Structure 1
Amino acid sequence: MKGGWDCHAHLFGPYGCYPLAADRSYTPPEAPVAQYLALLRGMGLSHGVLVQPSAYGEDHGLLFDILAAYPALRGVVVMRQGASKLLRGLRSKGVRAARFSHRPGAGANFRGSASFEDLLQMSGALADAGLHAELWTDCASLPAIAAQLKALPVPVVIDHMGGFDVTASPDDPGFRCLLALLEHGQAWVKLCLYRNVPGMTDLEAGRPFHDELVKANPQRLLWGSDWPHLRVNPQPDAAHLLQTFKHWVGDVGVIDSILTGNPESLYG
């Protein structure tokens, strides 16, 4: 689709120019911009949103260089509360958001990530800088923080469909909380399905959750490939994920909103 957006991807390397942080939770293979741009073209998309990987910590050299070179791309930074002043002027560089993690459990939040407490402390600075917040969390954690999310002075985009439990039903309280936030326009949600289906053995298992999100508020949904599909085996095919999304949604107008209209309003 001409003009369509992939709203979640990461770049790595070349490491000779852009080395990873010494203190990191994982070491991915290189995933350079040329490969990503080819992926976009192959999917018929023209815009992408690059999310700062935790393996780079707060070194945004690669992200900023790529945003300067490719105006069709946008960026999401990772910064902690002590760096609030650095948010000023990032919008002119192509940055649109800062990402935070709130995933309970030992090791769940990667080294180099920013916390939910960072988000609470930085939300005013984000608003002043014209940026929104992106949150990697899960449905089990949402009910406890929903009131705080509603009170934030910036839009919140929730990654990976809220990390729902595919073994539960869409009536699970955590997923219903996600739906309520979405339905009332109090959060955006990225439709990145495969991480919620272990082993990707049956994507159809995630369809009831996907359908509920589309029904709740398609004007607050975004689609993301999550390329290059880190720490996942087998790795998905991004084009297949996109076609699955289109098939499940069905309605051409809704597909166009999610792939083009919605991201244009948020990232354009």
Structure 2
Amino acid sequence: MTKPPQPDGPPPHPHPRKPVLALPPGSCDSHCHIYGPFDRFPLPRDRSFTPNEAPETALRRLHGHLGIARAVIVQSQGHGFDHRPLLDALARSAGRYRGVALLKPSCSEEEIAAFDAAGICGVRFNFLSHLGGRPDIDAMRAIIAKVRPFGWHVAVHVAGDDITIWSDVIRTIAAPVVIDHMARPPLSAGPDGSAMRTLRALVDGGKVWVKLSGGDRLSAAGAPYRDAKPIAASLARHAPERMLWGTDWPHVNLQGSMPDDGDLVDFIGDIVPDEASRRRMLVDNPAAFFGFDTHRPSDA
């Protein structure tokens, strides 16, 4: 038997606590990943990192524990362009999951159509070095043109001041755009730094949404992530109609102690204190943006 590869970091928290905050019915985890099971879906050789096994069954148990009803599973560089784990999860979900793909410029219309029918509704582009680095912009535009007839959104993953560097490119995207993890701005610059000002300006343009995920990655102090609250709360106040939230489970590419997902849920109460706004961010916005109420997989 082949020995499994050594993961690059620790596994997710094995026993997250029950959140104090009760999530509204129909809440959506708008950003999470799955890996494996590796006996069915081995990791590809061209992956950019090696994750721990974190299959859909574990994700489903976590969501049941936290009070989450729906989820958007984002294809990760850990599985590269092998979407079999994601497609398997979508087929099992009875409409509870939507997916976000990683695509090559060579992808065919038939492949995209099959992904669309399975429940995939977006394509992601990573600008981080450990996830493959900046994409070729011409290739990126070619992919966006191919998915546009299907009404997919475009997910953009940047960090530091990259949102400012790439803001003009983002403005030219002829599709709804979601910025992952609040654009991971420099914590030291606070909510009024250049990255945050650029992000708010993009949101004000009318087609950019933001995932208020990754507070644990921004924080220097650790749980309960109060040092990240000013950034997340400022976005939630600025445009509540364009905010989404996600766990980012199973928290890959982190070293040291893993975040407790119960803490991440309770962080919602810190950044969005009123119940109506929480329902908008957790239920109404994702239902509209990801098309949960209109998409019905053929086998659901």
Under a length normalisation based on structure 1, what TM-score does the superposition of the two structures give?
A: 0.92
Amino acid at match of 2:206: G
Alpha-carbon spacing, 1:98–1:114, altered in 2? closer, same or farther (3 Å): farther
Task: List aligned pairs for 1:28-177, cutoff 5 A.
Answer: 28-70=51-93, 71-85=95-109, 86-103=111-128, 108-111=129-132, 115=135, 117=137, 118-177=139-198
Deviation for aligned residue 1:84: 4.9
Q: Number of aligned residue pairs: give it.
A: 263
- The structure whose residues are more often helix, as a share, is 1
Give the corresponding residue for 2:253: 231
- Give the distance between the partners of 1:114 and 1:34, measured in 2 at CA: 32
Give the corresponding residue for 2:17: none
Give the corresponding residue for 2:3: none
Q: Which consecutive aligned stretches of 4+ in structure 1 deviate over 6 angstroms post-superposition?
A: none
* CA deviation map 1:120-152 (0-9, x unaligned): 222221211221111111251122321221221
Give the corresponding residue for 1:206: 228
Deviation for aligned residue 1:185: 2.4
- Gaps of at least 5 residues in structure 2 are 1-23, 293-300
Does the CA contact (< 8 Å) of 1:67 and 1:93 recur in 2? yes
Secondary structure, aligned partner of 2:123: strand
- Give the distance between the partners of 2:73 and 2:37, measured in 1 at CA: 16
Give the corresponding residue for 2:16: none
Does the CA contact (< 8 Å) of 1:75 and 1:94 recur in 2? yes
Of 195, 200, 219 in structure 2, the residue corresponding to residue 197 of structure 1 is 219
Does the CA contact (< 8 Å) of 2:48 and 2:130 recur in 1? no
Secondary structure, aligned partner of 1:230: coil
Amino acid at match of 1:231: N
Does the CA contact (< 8 Å) of 1:6 and 1:45 recur in 2? yes
- Give the distance between the partners of 1:123 and 1:25, measured in 2 at CA: 23
Deviation for aligned residue 1:90: 2.2
- Output the aligned Cα RMSD: 1.7
**Does residue 240 in structure 1 map to residue 240 in structure 2?**
no
Quick check: 143-152 or 46-55, which moved more? 143-152
Structure having greater relative contact order (Cα 8 Å, sep ≥ 6): 2
Under a length normalisation based on structure 2, what TM-score does the superposition of the two structures give?
A: 0.83
Give the corresponding residue for 1:17: 40
Deviation for aligned residue 1:109: 4.2
- Gaps of at least 5 residues in structure 1 are none
Does the CA contact (< 8 Å) of 2:229 and 2:270 recur in 1? no
Of 240, 253, 268 in structure 2, the residue corresponding to residue 218 of structure 1 is 240
Of 289, 293, 297 in structure 2, the residue corresponding to residue 266 of structure 1 is 289
Alpha-carbon spacing, 1:99–1:116, altered in 2? closer, same or farther (3 Å): farther
Deviation for aligned residue 1:194: 1.2
Deviation for aligned residue 1:201: 5.8
- Give the distance between the partners of 1:231 and 1:143, measured in 2 at CA: 24
Secondary structure, aligned partner of 2:57: helix
- Give the distance between the partners of 2:38 and 2:44, measured in 1 at CA: 11
- Share of identical aligned residues, percent? 29
Secondary structure, aligned partner of 2:82: coil
Secondary structure, aligned partner of 1:53: coil
Deviation for aligned residue 1:31: 0.5
Secondary structure, aligned partner of 2:264: helix
Does the CA contact (< 8 Å) of 1:157 and 1:190 recur in 2? yes
Secondary structure, aligned partner of 1:240: helix
